[in-house]
Amino acid sequence: MIRAARHILAVCVSLLVGIAPATAAITALPAPDTKETPTPPPQQAGAIETERAADADARIAERIRGIFAAIDDLRAVEVEVEQGVVRLTGSVASASDAKQAATIAARVSGVVTVDNAIERDLAVDSNLAPTVNSIAGKARDLWRMLPLVAVAVLIAALVMLLFRWISNLSAMWRRLTPNPFIAELLQSAIRFVGVLAGLYLALKILGATALLGALLGISGVIGIAIGFAVRDTIDNYISSIMLSLRQPFRANDHVVIEGNEGRVIRLTSRATVLMTLDGNHLRIPNATVFKAVILNYTRNPQRRFDFDLGIDADDDPVEGMAVGVAALGRLDFVLKDPKPSARIEQVGDSNIVLKFLGWIDQSETDFYKARSLGIQAAKAALEAEGFALPEPIYRLRVDPRSAPLPEAPRTGEVAGPVAAPEPAPARDIAKDVAQVDNTVPETHVAELVERERAASGEKDLLDSSRPIE
C-alpha cells in the first residue's frame, strides 16, 4: 500500500512539471530510496581546465609557430608549451615586436599564461635595415602618390580661385551690404571660406581628412590665445562695425567725444578723425567712441548761451533781471522763441549773482560771438539803469608794530622839460565795433574739414543716406 501511494505521488509530480512553463526552474522531489547528489557549479570564464587532451600543448605550439611564421619580424621567435604555459624565446629587432608576440600567444585558445623571454637584438644591421626599408617604402608610396597630390593641389587651387573671384565682385557686395566696411569684411570671410574648402577637398582626395580636424583644433587653441592677447584690437574692430551700422554723427558735425571737441572729418575702420577748433587732427579709437557719451551741437541748430553778472547786494535782483532780459531781447540774433530769461544764481557776501540765458540759431549766428555781445548788452543796460557791478571787497588790517617803509631818495631837478608823448593815431572806432558786432558763424574749420575730405583718399564709413542713431 505504501509503495502504491508513493508511485501515485511521483506521477502527480511529473504531471505538474510538464504543465509548468519551460522557463520556470522546478526541482523534482527525490525518490525516498535514493540519495540527493549536489550539482557542480558552472565553469567560470577563463578558468583553467582540469582535464586536457594529450596533444593540446603540441597543437598550441604549432598554431603559435604558424602565426609567427607569417610575420616577418617574429619568425625568429621560438615557442615552447607545457601544460598550457607558453614560453617565448629568441630575439627581435624592437621591444614592440616582443610585446606583439606575447599578445598574439595569449589570444590562442587553451593558453594559461605566457612567459615572455624574448630579447631585443641590438645588432646594427638588424635595427638599421627595418628603418631604411620603412623610409624607402614611404618614399616609393609618395612617388606613386605624386599624380594624386597634383590633382588634389589643382582642385584646391581652382576652388580658392573661384571663391576669390566671387569675393572680388565689389559692386555686388556693396549693393548687398550697408557700407563698404561690411562689404570688405564679407569679402575677406568668403576668401577664408574658399581656403578652407580647397584644403578640405585636397585632403579628402588624399584620404587625410583627419589631418584637417587636427589643424582646425590647433588653430582654435591658437585663436583663443591670440584673442586674449589682442582683445583690445578685437574690441576696437567690433566697435568699428557697430559704428558703421549705427552712425552717431555725420561728416563735419560739431561734436564733443570724451571731452574732445571738434568737427568730424571721417570714420575709418580703426578710429574717428576730428578737426579740433584749433585746426589740428585728432584720432580717437572707435572702441572709445562707441562707449563714450557723444555731444552733437550740429543736430539741433538752436543752442542756448548763458552768462553770470553780479549786482550790488542793495539792488533789486528782480528789476536787474528784467533790465538784462530786455537788453538781450533787443539783440537781433537772439531768438524771440524761446524768449531770453534770467534767474538768481546765488547770493554772495557783497553781490547777487544773476544768470542770463538766451537762444540763437547756430546756422546763422556764431555761438561765442553771440555770448560775448549778450554779456556786453546786459552789462551796459544794468549800468545805465544805475545798477552797480561791485568787485570783490577785501578788508586790510595794518599792524601798528610794522616799521614804516623808508622814503625813496630824492633825485635832482630835471634838467629840461619832459617831452609830451606823441598822440596815438586816430582809429575808426565805429568800424572796429561793427567788425566785433558781426555774428556770422565762423566757417574756417568747416572749410578745412571739407578740403581734407576732398583731398584725402582714405576710406570713410560715414554714409549720409543712412539715418543717425
What local confidence, expressed as pLDDT, does residue 407 receive?
A: 62
pLDDT at 1: 44
Convert the pLDDT of each residue in 454-466 to its tens digit.
887 677 888 777 7
pLDDT at 365 over 60: yes
Q: Identify the pLDDT of residue 406.
A: 63
CB atoms within 10 A of CB 66: 10
Same domain, 323 and 345: yes
Q: What CA–CA distance (Å, rounded) separates 177 from 244? A: 11
Report pLDDT for 353: 92
Q: What is the mean pLDDT of residues 29-33?
A: 42
Range scoring the smallest mean pLDDT among 117-131, 189-203, 312-326, 393-407: 393-407
Task: Find cell 635595415 and name the residue.
Answer: 129
Look at residue 17 in the predicted model and tell me its pLDDT: 40
Query: Domain ends where: 349, 384, 419?
Result: 384
Q: What percentage of the chain carries pLDDT values higher than 70?
A: 77
pLDDT tens figures, 237-286: 888 888 888 888 988 999 999 889 999 999 988 899 999 999 899 999 99
Let me know whether 319 and 361 are in one domain: yes
Q: pLDDT band at residue 219, thresholds of 50, 70 and 90?
A: confident
pLDDT digits (tens, 9 = 90+) for 313-349: 889 999 999 999 999 999 999 999 999 999 999 987 7
Phi and psi, residue 322, nearest 5° = -65, -40
Helix-then-strand count for the chain, H and E: 13, 13
DSSP string, 191-208: HHHHHHHHHHHHHHHHT-
Higher-scoring residue by pLDDT: 130, 436: 130
Residue 401 pLDDT more than 90? no
Q: Is the pLDDT of residue 32 over 50?
A: no
Instruction: Show which of 101, 122, 143 is a domain's final residue.
Output: 122
Q: Choose one of 369, 384, 399: the last residue of a domain.
A: 384
* In a shared domain, residues 132 and 173: yes
Q: Is residue 252 part of a domain?
A: no
User: Higher pLDDT residue, 23 or 85?
Assistant: 85
Q: Which of 14-23, 90-99, 291-300 reaches the highest mean pLDDT?
A: 291-300
Residue 31: predicted pLDDT:
42
DSSP state of 74: G
Tell me whether residue 358 is in a domain: yes
Same domain, 82 and 168: no
Q: 375 lies in a domain?
A: yes
Three-state SS at 455: helix
pLDDT the model gives residue 371:
94
pLDDT at 9: 47
Name which of 61-70, 229-238, 397-406 the model is least confident about: 397-406
3-class secondary structure, 99:
helix
CA distance 262 to 242: 22
Structural domain total, the chain:
4
- pLDDT band, residue 22 (cuts 50/70/90): very low
For residue 41, the model assigns a pLDDT of 44
Any domain includes 438: no
Per-residue model confidence (pLDDT) at position 341: 94
**208, 143: one domain:** yes
Which residue bears the cell 542713431?
Answer: 469
133 and 115, same domain (yes or no): no
Confidence check: pLDDT of 43 > 60 = no
Question: Under DSSP, is residue 173 helix (H, G, I), strand (E, B) or coil?
Answer: helix
Residue 370: pLDDT over 80: yes
Domain that holds residue 4: 1-34
365 & 344 share domain: yes
The pLDDT assigned to 361 comes to 92
- Alpha helices per DSSP H over 260-356: 286-291, 317-329
- My answer on whether 146 and 198 are in the same domain is yes
| Residue 264 domain flag | no
**How would you write 252-318 as a 3-class SS string?**
CCEEEECCEEEEEEEECCCEEEEEECCCCEEEEEHHHHHHCCEEECCCCCEEEEEEEEEEECCCCHH
Whether pLDDT at 37 is above 50: no
Same-domain pairing of 191 and 149: yes
pLDDT at 105 over 70: yes
Q: Are 167 and 190 in contact (CB under 8 A)?
A: yes
pLDDT digit string, tens, across residues 174-213: 777 766 777 777 888 888 888 888 888 888 888 877 777 7
Name the most confidently modeled range: 109-123, 133-147, 362-376.
362-376
Query: Quick one: pLDDT at residue 391?
Result: 74
Mean pLDDT over all residues of the chain?
79
- Residue 250 within a domain: no
Name the band, by pLDDT with cuts 50, 70 and 90, for residue 435: low
Kindly state the average pLDDT of the residues 79-87.
89
| Grid cell of 358 as nine digits | 538766451
Q: Give me the mean pLDDT over the 442-452 stretch.
A: 87
Which of 60, 74, 58 lies closest to 112, judged by CA? Answer: 60
Output the pLDDT for position 334: 93
Q: pTM, whole model, 2 decimals?
A: 0.55
The verdict on 321 and 355 lying in the same domain is yes
3 found inside a domain? yes
- Residue 457 domain-assigned? no
Same domain, 105 and 180: no
CATH number for 106 = 3.30.1340.30
Asked whether residue 86 carries a pLDDT value surpassing 70, the answer given is: yes
Whether residues 135 and 221 share a domain: the answer is: yes
pLDDT confidence of residue 5:
46
For residues 467 and 75, the model is more confident at 75
Strands 85-89 and 113-116: parallel
Q: What is the pLDDT of residue 400?
A: 67
- What's 369's domain CATH number? 3.30.70.100
Asked if residue 429 has pLDDT above 70, the reply is: no
